[in-house]
Amino acid sequence: MLSENEILNEFRAIKKLCVDHSHKNLVAVYRYGKLPDSLYYYIDMELCELNLEEYIHEFEFKLSSTSQELPSLLPLDTKSLMLIMRDVSRGLAFIHENDEVHRDIKPRNSNTSYSAGLTRSLIFNQT
C-alpha cells in the first residue's frame, strides 16, 4: 500500500501535468485531495464519454444499439486507429518529457472525448 504522502505526491505530479488542459491529449485534472475525516482520496477531472477498451471490445454492441450516436468513430479503419495512436503517443511523449512514468497505460485508461475528437490519456489508476 502507498502511504498518504506517496499518494499525495502522485496527485501532485498528475496535477502538475494535467491541470487546466496543459496538454490537450491528457485528461484535465481540476482538484485533488483527501476527503476530510475519511480514508478516501478524491480527484476531480474531465468527463470522458468512452474509453478505448469499450471502443475496441464493445464496438459491435454499440454499433447495433446506438450507432447514430457515434458517427465520428465509424468505421474502425486504419485512419482512425492512427489518429488514436497519435493522440495517445503525444500524451505519453509529454509525460516522458516531464520526467514522469505513467506506469499504467492501457485501453481503459485512454479516453476519447468525441465531442473534441481527441483521445486523451488518463494519468490515474483507480486502485
Partner 1 sequence: MTDQGRGTASYRAPELLRPPATFDESVDIWALGCVLFELVSGQKAFNDDWYVQVYSRQDENLPVPLEAFVHAGARVPLTNLVHNMLSLVPDRRPRARDVRSVFDFICETGSFEPPSEAVGDLFSRICKPSANLGQVGSFKSIVFSVPYERNPYFAGRDDLLDTLFLELKEKRPNRYNHRIALYGLGGVGKTQVVLEYAYRHQSDYAYIFWISGVDRAELLSGFSRVARILRCGMSLTRREGIAKRVLQWLEVNESWLLIVDNVDDVDVIAGYLPQSDGSGHTIITTRNTNTAGIPAPGLEVREMDRDSGVLFLLQRLGAIDPSTELRGEVYQIVDAMGGLPLAIEQAAGYIKIPENIFTYLSIFNKSRRQLLGRPLVGNHIYTRTVLTTWEMSFARLQETRPDAVTLLQYLAFMNADEILVDYLRAGVIALPSALGTLIRDPFEWGEAINALQESSLIRVSSRDTKLSIHRLLQAVVQDGLEPATRKAITSVLLLMGEITFPKLTESRCDITICRKFRSQIVACLEHTKSSESNPSWIAIAERLAHFLYLEGMYSDASYWWGLLLSIRKETFEEEHENTLRCKFELARSWDGEGRNRDASLLNEDTLAIGKRVLGPEHPLTLDIMNSLACSYYDLGRYEDASGLYAQNLDLRLRVHGREDPKVLEAMHNLACSYRNLGQLQDASDLHAETLNLTLKVLGPEHPHTAVNMHNLALAYHSLGQFEEAAQLFADTSNLQTRVLGPEHPDTLRSMNALAVSLLCLGRLKQALDLHVDTFNIQKRVLGADHPSTLRTLACLEDAKVAMSRMQKVILAQPSDTKQLNPRTHHPQPLSVFGKTLHRFLIRSVLRRKVA
Residues that bind partner 1 in the complex, under the rule CB under 8 A: 2, 52, 56-57, 78-79, 81-86, 88-90, 92-93, 95-97, 100-108, 110, 125, 127
Determine phi and psi for 122, rounding to 5 degrees: -90, 130
CB of 38 to partner 1, least distance (A): 23
- As measured in angstroms, the least distance from the Cβ of 17 to partner 1 is 13
From the list 124, 120, 115, 117, the residue with the least C-alpha distance to 90 is 120
**Strand pairing category for 41-45 and 29-34:** antiparallel
Burial (CB count <10 Å: 0-12, 13-18, 19+), residue 15: middle
Minimum separation from the CB atom of position 37 to partner 1 (A)? 27
User: Which residue number, 32 or 124, has a Cβ lying nearer to partner 1?
Assistant: 124
